[in-house]
Amino acid sequence: MLSKLEDAYGHQLFDFLRGKSQGLEIVERDDGFIQANLGPRTYLSDYKDWSDREKVALRLAKGNVIDIGCGGGRHSLYLQQKKGLQVLGVDVSPLAIRVCMLRGLKNTRVMSIEQLTSRLGRFDTVLMLGNNFGLFHNPTEAKKLLKNFWQMTNPGARIMAESLDPYKTQDPFHLAYHELNKRRRRMPGQVRIRIRYKKYCTPWFDYLLVSKQEMKEILHNTGWKLKRFLSAKRLEFPSRGQPYVAILERD
């Protein structure tokens, strides 16, 4: 659980919900690169503003759902209110969970991805949208947690995992970071970042961005197989990489 001063992500969400913020998210990378995103505006956006890949992925959701890194709860609330599914939203940010509750999400927990176990129940759908494949941190941890998810799910379960192909860029700062990571014996898309907002700042954490081929390699011997990819036909973020959603099925 993040402390009050560490919960930069939650504070920006909470302030934006109350109309006390312009909705900017500052992401700092460990090489000194800083980027401003319209984070809260995205995390609290309406269905009409979502990407086609998100909409298709949500149509495939079924049964008992866990939304990992649920943020402001937009996907959870859609499945709860529009599809009538039982959804558990989990996030490491206490204020993000408070935002979810204020918006009407019935079932929430303040937990990190590493704390998830079958004691929470058994699930038919695992949501990791919003680039939340990155929450696996690194390939070793990804394999470990995917095996854990197998234990938490029912036969026929699905994972909807979104990532960003970091190689689909010509930005010299990102390309230089890929090379730095290679020298450090890390995956090129294994970024180390923290979120800043006003006086609040999260601890540094690893966030894993992978190509489709790298994701396939990570899935090997985890109990999960690739069903399909959902991708945009055009390059959406030429400076950052190309987002996609992977639909994974339980072996």
Tens digit of pLDDT for each residue in 17-30?
999 988 789 999 99
Model pLDDT, residue 237: 60
Model pLDDT, residue 232: 76
pLDDT tens-digit map of 163-174 = 999 999 999 999
- List the domains of the chain with CATH numbers: 51-189+209-250 (3.40.50.150)
pLDDT tens-digit map of 58-77 = 999 999 999 999 999 999 99
Alpha helix segments (H runs only) across the chain: 8-17, 39-43, 52-59, 74-81, 94-102, 139-152, 172-183, 212-219
pTM for this prediction: 0.95
Residue 1 binned pLDDT confidence (cut-offs 50, 70, 90): confident
d(CA 249, CA 119): 21
pLDDT tens-digit map of 83-122 = 999 999 999 999 999 999 999 999 999 999 999 999 999 9
DSSP per residue, 16-64:
HHTT-S---EEEEETTS-EEEE-HHHHHT--GGGS-HHHHHHHHT--SE
Q: Are strands 153-165 and 242-250 parallel, antiparallel or unpaired?
A: antiparallel
